[in-house]
Amino acid sequence: MNSKTASFSQLKKVALGTAAIIGICALVFSGITQVAKASLVNQTNTIPTAYSTTGSHSEQHAIPEGYAKASYQVKLSEFSGRPGDKDMSMEEAAELGAQNLWRFFKVNLDGKTIEMSYTANSSFNPRAEWMGIIFNGEVPSYSFLVDAVTGEYRAVGQSKYWSGDINVGMDQTLIKNHRQYAALARAAAEKFQLVSGKIVAADYYGQGYTYFKQSVNPDITMTVKSDSGQEARITFSRYNQELLGVEYDPWVKDAKVYEAQMEKEMREKAPEVRDSTGIPSLIEITK
């Protein structure tokens, strides 16, 4: 049995991709999302949240070109929390999500059902959110998050799965050589105006994969940064370079807080081991 160690900094680069931070608001791109949220309903304390009264989401919520409201149904998930007086209705949130799905993926929702789930702001979830999921049969295919108070977009994504001999493991070469995906991320950020100001960086964030039954889709996430300080995380398929999802600046900022908490807990709880040079490492990985 061979063994190797991973330092915390390297493990963080490897592990803290979209899969590792699924707990913060979990969107998004898998069928386990609602189960995860359901386990938290009534288990967190609601806390007051200060929303900025300045600024406008009119540009973000401009009707996307070519969009026409589809004949879709909206239903409340059995796992949903109960919205408050200040929260928008699930129908309003569903329509915002439908528009954003069209904006990114040209999704035609005629005859589809948008399953909505509300989560109040809490110590776990810093913003009250409406989450919508659209199933194609039993497959969770599209999803979105909007701020339940302001309607601000927080995340949007699609899930596609491929069968066959597809490698979903970590591609170590992409950690340093990710120019192709950096270019794709910059192009997407510019096309969809994901950050304000001039784009100054498109950095590697992490790798992961999604799966449904026997089908998979390996992915890579890039972080786009602007000179205004805004960031967006953009996920692409490593299988065919297709855009899979976007996490907006407010979501990214909240995710960073959660990641810092998770990092602290990992440091406190994980057994420390040392590599061959004597440098402390987070955890020993054997295979």
The kind and range of the H/E element at 155 are strand 153-158
Per-position DSSP letters for 89-154, written without gaps between them: PHHHHHHHHHHHHHHHH----TT-EEEEEEE--BSS-SS-EEEEEEEETTEEEEEEEEETTT--EE
Q: What is the pLDDT of residue 2?
A: 32
- Residue whose tokens read 């999604």: 210
Beta carbons within 8 Å of 43's beta carbon, 6+ residues apart = none
CB-CB contact of 128 with 87 (8 Å):
yes
Q: What is the pLDDT of residue 142?
A: 97
Average pLDDT over residues 220-230: 97
Q: What is the pLDDT of residue 271?
A: 62
Within 13 A of 234's CA, how many CA atoms are on the CB side? 28
Beta carbons within 8 Å of 152's beta carbon, 6+ residues apart = 57, 60, 146, 248, 250
pLDDT digits (tens, 9 = 90+) for 51-79: 433 233 556 788 999 999 999 999 999 99
pLDDT digits (tens, 9 = 90+) for 115-128: 999 999 887 778 99
Within 13 A of 155's CA, how many CA atoms are on the CB side? 30
Residue 248 predicted with pLDDT over 50 = yes
Residue % of the chain over a pLDDT of 70: 73
pLDDT digits (tens, 9 = 90+) for 132-150: 999 999 899 999 999 999 9
Average pLDDT over residues 83-95: 96
Average pLDDT over residues 212-226: 96
Dist CA 267 CA 188 (whole Å): 35
Q: Where are the domains of the chain?
A: 1-24+169-287, 31-158
Q: What is the pLDDT of residue 192?
A: 96
Q: Which of 163-172, 209-218, 270-279 has the lowest mean pLDDT?
A: 270-279
Q: Does 280 or 236 have the greater pLDDT score?
A: 236
Q: What is the pLDDT of residue 280?
A: 54
pLDDT band for 5, please (50, 70, 90 cuts): very low
Q: Does 33 or 194 have the greater pLDDT score?
A: 194
Q: What is the pLDDT of residue 32?
A: 31
Average pLDDT of the chain is 80
Cα–Cα separations (whole angstroms), residue 10 to 5, 68, 165, 281, 282: 10, 46, 28, 9, 9
Q: What is the pLDDT of residue 255?
A: 87
Phi/psi of residue 149, each to 5°?
Answer: -95, -50
CB burial readout 14-37, b (16+ within 10 A) else e: bbbbbbebbebbbbbbbbebbeeb
Residue % of the chain over a pLDDT of 90: 63
Residue 29 predicted with pLDDT over 60 = no
Q: Which of 42-56, 96-110, 184-198 has the lowest mean pLDDT?
A: 42-56
User: Quick one: tokens of 248?
Assistant: 């907006």
Cα–Cα separations (whole angstroms), residue 191 to 90, 103, 105: 28, 10, 13
Dist CA 281 CA 195 (whole Å): 36
CB-CB contact of 155 with 125 (8 Å):
no
Dist CA 150 CA 92 (whole Å): 11
Residue 166 predicted with pLDDT over 80 = yes
Dist CA 188 CA 144 (whole Å): 17
Average pLDDT over residues 88-94: 97
Q: Does 252 or 48 have the greater pLDDT score?
A: 252
Q: What is the pLDDT of residue 58?
A: 54
Q: What is the pLDDT of residue 162?
A: 95
Residue 230 predicted with pLDDT over 80 = yes
